[in-house]
Amino acid sequence: MAARLRDSATLLPSLVGASSSQSRLREIHAHLLVSGRLASPSHRADFVASLASSDHLSYARLLLPQRPATLLAHNGLLRALARGPCPRLAFAAFRELPLAPDHYSFTFLVRAATSLAAAASSATPVPTDVAVCLLAGSVHAAAFRHGHAADLHVQSGAVSMYAAVGDVGAVRAAFAEIVSPDVVCVTAMLGALSAGGDVDTARELFDRMPQRDHVAWNAMLTGYVRVGKAREALGLFDEMQKAGISVGEATLVSVLTACAQMGALERGIWVHSYVCSRGMRVSVTLGTALVDMYSKCGVVTMAMEVFESMSERNIYTWTSALSGLAMNGMGEECLELFKRMESAGMEPNGVTFVAVLRGCSVAGLVEEGRACFDSMKDKHKVEPWLEHYGCMVDLYGRAGRLDDAVNFINSMPVEPHEGVWGALLNASRIHNNVDLGKHAMYKLMKIESKNDAAHVLLSNIYAESHNWKGVSKVRNMMKSKGVKKVPGCSAIEVDGKVHEFFVGSKSHPRYKDIETMLAGMSHKLRLQGYAANTKEVLFDIEEEEKESAISLHSEKLALAFGLITLPEGTVIRIVKNLRVCKDCHDYTKMISKVFDREIVMRDRNRFHHFKHGACSCRDYW
């Protein structure tokens, strides 16, 4: 054993870790005593740290009271506990210090607080548990009291600690105190800014970094994805590849999420091919991201193929697959998969039930949806959220059971939120019930007075019934409140590049070609008996002017561009930020028939798969 203990720093952890019995630990301890090694503060510190990190904490504590007391040994214990599976124990050890703490003590204590915050934020949404936030602040305050807050390691650790907590203000303050921050500190600051949504400031910091490792690149990439800046995320990924930065699972998951947000199927397929060609293991996280990407790009067959190929699935994998089926209008398949999930022994959570209820809603499966809602609490012990109540109102409303929807709202044990009244307002639009729409709008305005989508929905209800006075009233209401309608934007991917079109915009480099194609499309559709549906135009103007107003809707521009650029037989895929209007829906159905093209459109509510003049939503959206 003497030969094996020459280098205690490297060999002790393996020896102690392999020793499960107290007798074996005593044997190692005895040898260290006889050899005189425990007389050395550094050797004693190594032994204490090895014991603590190997789950022999009680034995480690027996060594600490030995005289003379050394801070080195106590700091070794702090370090091991901070890095171990239960960092909270480091705080108890800190309180038992027999000597005044030094900057190393606080470095390890800050590390423990960072680990606690990271664990809390992964278990619950940010902001982190208030207790952890207070703990982080008290650690920093203690460092100030003992005069070690200006130490570079403590300062850098404080930035990482506050970043893990999610306190961007504290991160900024801690970072400002550092004269020459190192790359770890700057990366922590970058991650905090990105997590807090301030990606512009984060990008400025990122661009100024003299050295950027994969952690910094991933922090910036994740920040863009978190705030929905998918185009910027994909652009950064291109830069990352040109810079020769190694691409790991975390990077690919962020890129797949960006592809899902934009509907960039070609880029998503490239990532999938990249994974396969390099023999990367498709982990649960990566597999779930692939399922989500294919689902949100409207390729359900590929999403389910990936799902079925996964050897291991967690609740997020199942829920992602269920959500994909629901958003693509495959309600019956969604219910079947949910039954499989239950049979597999996977317990659903609240998000799972949102997906299943939406699947029932888009497919008009009212009784099945009601049974699912009842089983949440009775069978699965999941307390319904407000979102679940909103799904039920949507379920009843879309099916035309408006009285049931109202009765359900009146029987809710909690105060209805904007999602509930928004669902009732949308149902009023679908079934042209002006009075109920006004009631839902009144309730909604008391909660969210500047909801632009709600104002537009009520305007549509008035416009469809030719109540131009009502339309004018809503428009004046929007003007007085400063509510502006979000402009329609549609995106289409061609040759790996995403092209965006805004309503009425003529700025695309190929607009002349698009304009010519639009004219040809309209001519062919008129020959087939198409007439523009102008009921949702929010102005009392001549019919010809109304047709002109809807002819440049963003999805029509994207559709024309797709017909120009994509070869015959290729599916045209469009992503729109708003609900598709009735005219554009009818128009796209006709285009799919006249031009014999399959068109997949994702709007704010769901997917529409157009083929041979019909839509998968069955005109029910």
Q: What is the pLDDT of residues 249-301, one digit of tens each?
A: 999 999 999 999 999 999 999 999 999 999 999 999 999 999 999 999 999 99
Burial of 568 (0-12, 13-18, 19+ CB in 10 A): exposed
Domain boundaries, the chain: 3-184, 500-615
HEC letters along 304-332: HHHHHHCCCCCHHHHHHHHHHHHHCCCHH
pTM summary value:
0.78
Contact 388, 416 (CB under 8 A): no
* Number of H-type helices and E-type strands within the chain: 32, 6
Cis peptide before 127, with omega less than 30 degrees from 0?
Answer: yes
Contact 163, 192 (CB under 8 A): yes
- Please report the pLDDT score of residue 9 as a whole number: 45
Residues 6+ away with beta carbon under 8 Å from 173: none
Residue with tokens 């008290």: 138
For the 3-184 domain, the top CATH level (class) is mainly alpha
CA dist 219 and 159 (Å) reads 15
Contact 452, 422 (CB under 8 A): no
Residue with tokens 């289409």: 492
CA dist 211 and 531 (Å) reads 60
Residues 6+ away with beta carbon under 8 Å from 438: 458
More confident residue, 275 or 194: 275
Confidence band, pLDDT 50/70/90 cuts, at residue 409: very high
More confident residue, 399 or 33: 399
Q: Copy the structure tokens of residue 146.
A: 């003992």
Confidence band, pLDDT 50/70/90 cuts, at residue 581: confident
CA dist 510 and 367 (Å) reads 50
CA angle 229-230-234, nearest 5°? 125
Within 10 angstroms of residue 477's Cβ, the number of other Cβ atoms is 16
Q: Copy the structure tokens of residue 615.
A: 């839509």
CA dist 211 and 68 (Å) reads 45
- Please report the pLDDT score of residue 10 as a whole number: 46
- Which H helix or E strand runs over 90? helix 89-95
- Please report the pLDDT score of residue 452 as a whole number: 80
Residues 6+ away with beta carbon under 8 Å from 71: 97, 99, 101, 102, 104, 105
CA dist 287 and 271 (Å) reads 12
Confidence band, pLDDT 50/70/90 cuts, at residue 71: confident
- Please report the pLDDT score of residue 21 as a whole number: 52
Query: What is the strand order of the sheet 599-602 is part of?
Result: 497-502, 489-494, 572-576, 599-602, 607-611, 614-615
Confidence band, pLDDT 50/70/90 cuts, at residue 116: confident
Using CA atoms, how far residue 601 sits from 329, 498, 559, in Å, is 12, 15, 10
Q: Where are the alpha helices (DSSP H) in 182-327?
A: 183-195, 199-208, 214-226, 230-242, 249-262, 265-277, 284-296, 300-309, 315-327
CA dist 202 and 27 (Å) reads 54
Q: What is the pLDDT of residues 348-373, one digit of tens each?
A: 999 999 999 999 998 889 999 999 99
Mean pLDDT over each residue of the chain, to the nearest integer: 85
- Bridge-based pairing of strands 489-494 and 572-576 is antiparallel
- Residue 497 sits at φ, ψ, to 5 deg, of -110, 135
- Please report the pLDDT score of residue 49 as a whole number: 57
Q: What is the pLDDT of residues 209-246, one digit of tens each?
A: 888 888 899 999 999 999 999 999 999 999 999 999 98
